[in-house]
Structure 1
Amino acid sequence: MNMRLDIVVSDIVGLTGTKIISAFIGGENSGEKLAGHRHYNCRKLEGEIAKALQYNGRDDYFFALKQEWETYLHLQRQIIEVDGQIKEHLEEVIDNDDTKKQHIVDKKPHKRKNKNTIRDLDMAQISYQYFEGVDLMAIEDVNDATIMAIISEIGLEGIKKFGSSKQFTLGSGWPRTTKSVGEKY
């Protein structure tokens, strides 16, 4: 369609891209008017965006874009539903365990959140309670996604089922794939 949104915005489903795609599907096909949907944080100027958005009138491509956009929006709604279920489950686990409920984490400096994290969920507090006083967010580079991966991998027993930090990091009791020189299995 001669629409090169991908070269003027770094994330086509970010704030600017979403507004432009929605306006285009809504019937606006003027590059200048579409560029007016530029978010102030966008690095490209409106003129550059307008040049990249010159629609060539291909209705077949427009139809395909519309179908793909509707699919994308449907999947985003499903992700929100799954996130809600995860949040509900984590809160239920904590609410049903007085030992977990008693732990309150100290407020930390803000860690940047990825746009794909569960909205309206304080993962620092949830993980602190879930792991009964172990502050995983105090570890550099640990974020919401890392904590969700740990919770999903080690389950409700949490890190307490490991005798030491070495066992946790090596996966004690799990088959090892390498052996030291002279070591027998």
Structure 2
Amino acid sequence: MKKLLYIFYSLIISKIPGGNNSIGKSFRRRFQRLLGITLGTNAVIGHHTIISYHVLDKLVIGNDSGVGPYSYIMGTGKIIIGKNVICAPKITFVTRWHEIFYDKNGEKINIQKEGGITIGDNVFLGTNVTILPNVNIGEKSIIASGTTVYKSVPPNSFVRGAKMVMDRLEG
């Protein structure tokens, strides 16, 4: 039954537009709770947000927080979003992915990475931010638009961009 509700939600309910105090927002919110998502008071998941079936009962959004429209929440790990968190549109939360590289002998290595994501209280995530597995973002931090967050961020931080960490062929 839950899988059927999920399919109905994904195909129809999640696409109902509506801002604050709208019927669409209220309807989406009720359906999200039915699917097992934990939503705090005034918590919102924007329209056209895609949520992976395996994340449903592992997604917790705190009071007065919101995930902007057209976001993508996927994987199998737990995602906890604190209180008073603002997520602009098109945020991507990834709790499971594959790192593919070649060793010194030219052999392809495929490592699966999996882990939860925790966003502290009073955090702002700009448009098109991507958060990868095993990341904790400390409270009162700001993540600039277009940033890929691949490691944890201490409280009161400002993060922008993404840089090369190592040469895949040498590292």
Interval containing the TM-score (normalised by the shorter chain)? under 0.3
> Which one has a larger percent strand, Structure 1 or Structure 2?
2
TM-score (norm 1): 0.24
> Which one has a larger percent helix, Structure 1 or Structure 2?
1
Which structure: larger Rg? Answer: 1
